[in-house]
């Protein structure tokens, strides 16, 4: 929820404050004047997330957002994908891990240098990979999968 709120257009953040929070309008106007657009939006995201999930989870969501999107670190929790332990082409692995919709898209991603295995950029789309449990695939800046071998 926090991340979705951070994608709001700056022009509608004040309206969301007015409609979705209990913060008095004078305080909202003061916040808008004193905070940067990003900080104003972050305050909104924290307030709304806290309404639904509590202050503790809202703070945790904010910290995770900062870690992943500003510091560009890996998320603490990654989606697990079960794959076969046999060696397989990287293109097949990306499709099976649900990081690419097709082999042709997977190939394009590899050719653009957008694919990494455990932090190492994949340079050859023809390569084969022998998956191991705990291996982390990354596509682009924000899509990850942790492999679990069967």
* Distance of alpha carbon 65 from alpha carbon 44, whole angstroms: 14
Residue 69 has pLDDT above 90, yes or no: no
Q: What is the pLDDT of residues 2-44, one digit of tens each?
A: 999 999 999 999 999 999 999 999 999 999 999 999 999 999 9
Average pLDDT value over all residues in the chain: 93
Contacts of 44 by beta carbon, 8 Å cutoff, 6+ apart: 5, 8, 13, 16, 17, 20, 21
User: What pLDDT score was predicted for residue 54?
Assistant: 96
Q: How many CB atoms lie within 10 A of CB 100?
A: 25
Q: What is the pTM of this model?
A: 0.68
Does any domain span residue 75? Answer: no
* Distance of alpha carbon 40 from alpha carbon 88, whole angstroms: 47
Mean pLDDT of 46-63: 96
Residue 72 has pLDDT above 90, yes or no: no
Domain that holds residue 44: 2-70
Q: How many CB atoms lie within 10 A of CB 75?
A: 13
Residue 74 has pLDDT above 90, yes or no: no
Does any domain span residue 106? Answer: yes
Same domain (yes/no): 44, 100: no
The CATH number covering residue 107 comes to 3.10.290.10
Q: How many CB atoms lie within 10 A of CB 27?
A: 11
Q: How many CB atoms lie within 10 A of CB 149?
A: 14
- DSSP letters, 104-122, are HHHHHHHHTT-EEETTEEP
Domain stop point among 70, 90, 114: 70
Q: How many CB atoms lie within 10 A of CB 98?
A: 12
Does any domain span residue 28? Answer: yes
Helices (H), 1-145: 2-5, 13-20, 25-34, 37-53, 55-65, 90-96, 103-111
User: What pLDDT score was predicted for residue 139?
Assistant: 94
């Amino acid at each position: 929820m926090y991340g979705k709120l951070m994608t709001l257009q700056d022009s509608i953040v004040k309206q969301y404050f007015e409609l979705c929070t209990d913060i008095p309008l004078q305080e909202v106007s003061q916040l808008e004047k004193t905070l940067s657009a990003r900080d104003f939006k972050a305050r909104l995201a924290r307030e709304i997330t806290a309404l639904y999930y509590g202050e503790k989870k809202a703070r945790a969501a904010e910290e995770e957002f900062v870690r992943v999107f500003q510091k560009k670190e890996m998320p603490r929790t990654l989606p697990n994908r079960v794959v076969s332990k046999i060696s397989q082409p990287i293109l097949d692995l990306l499709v099976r891990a649900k990081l690419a919709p097709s082999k042709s898209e997977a190939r394009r991603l590899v050719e653009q240098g957008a694919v990494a295995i455990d932090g190492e950029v994949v340079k050859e789309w023809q390569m084969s990979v022998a998956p191991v449990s705990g291996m982390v695939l990354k596509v682009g800046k924000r899509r990850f999968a942790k492999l679990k071998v069967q």
